[in-house]
Structure 1
Amino acid sequence: MSDSGRRIAVTGGAGFIGSHLARALSDRGHRLLIVDDCSSGSHTPQHERISYTQRDICAPETAETITEFDPDTLYHLAARHYIPYCNENPRETFNVNVIGTRRVLEAVRRASVETVVYASSAAVYGPAKEPHVESERPRPTDIYGQTKLVGEDIVERFATRYDFESVMYRLFNVYGPGETNPHVIPAILDQIDDEEGSISLGNLRPKRDFVHVSDVVDALLLPLDSATRSFDRYNVGTGTAHSVAELVEVIRDLVSTDFGIDQDDERLRESDRPYLCADIRRIQEEFGWSPSYEVRAGLKQLIETEYERLTHA
């Protein structure tokens, strides 16, 4: 696929990952349409090549706007994805993540779309003690994972029926500057002050594969440069899992503050699986992609970028 002068629609392009992606695409010279309801933040990059519409992904006008833009590539990132919110709002989660996906796909099939890139999630996997591979049977344990798995099925069916290329990325625990939901890393950093007090956290034992947003964007850009088959799924992580307790130790060292930990029962999740990690051999072997940031370097970059007050410079 040629990587010059594309017309690219990005749903969720004002959010955490989407805004980083939009900047990268704009820097490459592509013309963009960003569609976002700004429900989880608004980080829309400003550039003459970028058009922006603030709309509900499920609204009929949204589909019309996408069709009129006539993209050759769609990045579909719009979703409800903060799991506690999804669990409390299952109907809204289904409407956005499933109905919204279908309506976006209906819009692009009426356009000149050649490639659809779908941001799925590691939440489609079931509990395991080993890194997940793409070929294993999905077994989501919550409403978010269930809706993302249905979204994969919708994209696969549309790609097969209407003959466009599609790529699925099962994203693991993404972190970095601009995060818009209170996941564990910002939850830790936001509570730290200059004095050695305590912060409140939930379960410190679960291990997750934390992947920096810059590495995720690099993975998302791969379909613009590489030949793909009609339908592919790829894990995007680091291949290494770290517990919350391990994150705390790294952050203590980076900010030179020996803060304490108070366990807050309200932060505990009912379905907090003990281990979630990616097997990334497939994306490495087929695309040559590997993450640039290991967790310490990624946390250092995040702290220096967004938490300068903690650097004691």
Structure 2
Amino acid sequence: MNRPERIFLTGSNGIVGRHVTTALRAQHPQCDLICNTVDLTNLTETTEAIKAAGPLDLVIHLAALVPVDDVVSNPALGYAVNAGGTINLLSALASCERETGVSARLLYCSSSHVYAPQAEPIREDAPTTPASVYGKTKLMGEEAARSICAETERSLCVARLFSIHDPAQTGSYLRPALTTRLADADPAKVFELHGAGSLRDFLPAKTAAQHLVDLAFSSFDGVVNVGSGKAQTVAEFAQSLAPFPLNIKPIGTDNALVPDVSLLKSLLGEVND
């Protein structure tokens, strides 16, 4: 694609969004970055925001209802934001682009939750059979984006993020949950850990954001897994955050959800952090 000059970013206030904003402003200062401030579930507001932004070269769509617990407690909102918001965004783009004749490229940020756990590293062509409601909402948004963009000949990259983490995360994510528990943990006592042997690909959010920016600026159309390529158990990740050796007692069942990042490497080069 031609080097984008005007970029519209949704989800700029999220963990990944803040890192994406920093990367864009540091590495592409010549670009005009417009951060979305409206509710994407409202088509009128979304259309007005896109119209006010003017002709766009690139849209990076990160906005989503992410915490799995939040989506479970309000699945309708999860679908409205993760699928409906994506549809509204594309509808607004199509409406406004009729006047300009410019079709913005779209980077849609999806999730590893669209896959079911499996023993081997997961390729992009693996079946998408999400086990969680959150995964189902992201897959619906992804499918809508792919269908609409194919029909309108819009360039689309779908980036499926795996297990990102960041010191600034809060809420029900694994890292803040572990950090809270470790702050009060007794080194002499057993540390019970659900799914301790489960394999994940833990990628710093800052690195994930850089990959998303690089993919957005590439000419790649299609689906790509975004991870480090390093499998790590939940127990190993917990120990990496702990200030003392943990006496971990595994509880629950284990599974594996790690990506094959061969395609990502072929597009961006070495991706290990």
Same fold (TM over 0.5): yes
1:63 to 43, 47, 57: 47
- Which residue type is aligned with residue 124 of structure 2? E
The aligned residue for residue 3 of structure 2 is 3
What is the TM-score with the length of structure 1 in the denominator?
Answer: 0.76
Q: 1:97 aligned to 2:82?
A: yes
1:116 deviates by 0.1
1:203 deviates by 3.2
Q: How does 1:40-59 map to 2 (within 5 A)?
A: 53=37, 55-59=38-42
Question: Residues 41-76 of structure 1: CA distance to partner in whole angstroms, max 9, x if unpaired?
Answer: xxxxxxxxxxxx2x3221221331123203221111
Q: 1:282 aligned to 2:257?
A: no
Give me the identity figure in percent. 27
2:135 to 127, 145, 154: 145
1:214 to 198, 206, 230: 206
* Distance change in 2, residues 1:262/1:179 (3 Å): same
Contact 1:239/1:280, CA 8 A, preserved across alignment: yes
Q: CA RMSD in A?
A: 2.4
The aligned residue for residue 178 of structure 2 is 188
The aligned residue for residue 34 of structure 1 is 35
The aligned residue for residue 301 of structure 1 is none
Contact 2:8/2:60, CA 8 A, preserved across alignment: yes
Larger relative contact order (CA 8 Å, sep ≥ 6): 2
- Which residue type is aligned with residue 57 of structure 1? L
Q: How does 1:1-313 map to 2 (within 5 A)?
A: 1-3=1-3, 6-27=5-26, 28-29=28-29, 30-35=31-36, 53=37, 55-59=38-42, 60-70=44-54, 71-109=56-94, 110-111=96-97, 112-193=102-183, 196=186, 201-228=193-220, 231-252=221-242, 255=243, 257-258=244-245, 274-285=255-266, 287-293=267-273
Q: Secondary structure at the match of 1:226?
A: coil
1:172 deviates by 0.2
Question: Residues 206-256 of structure 1: CA distance to partner in whole angstroms, max 9, x if unpaired?
Answer: 22111112221221122454323xx3000001222222211122333xx3x
1:273 deviates by 6.5
Aligned residues: 262
1: CA distance, partners of 2:145 / 2:124: 16
1: CA distance, partners of 2:192 / 2:120: 29
Q: Which runs of 5+ in 2 are unaligned?
A: none
2: CA distance, partners of 1:196 / 1:273: 25
What is the TM-score with the length of structure 2 in the denominator?
Answer: 0.86
1: CA distance, partners of 2:88 / 2:177: 34
Contact 1:129/1:275, CA 8 A, preserved across alignment: yes
The aligned residue for residue 44 of structure 1 is none
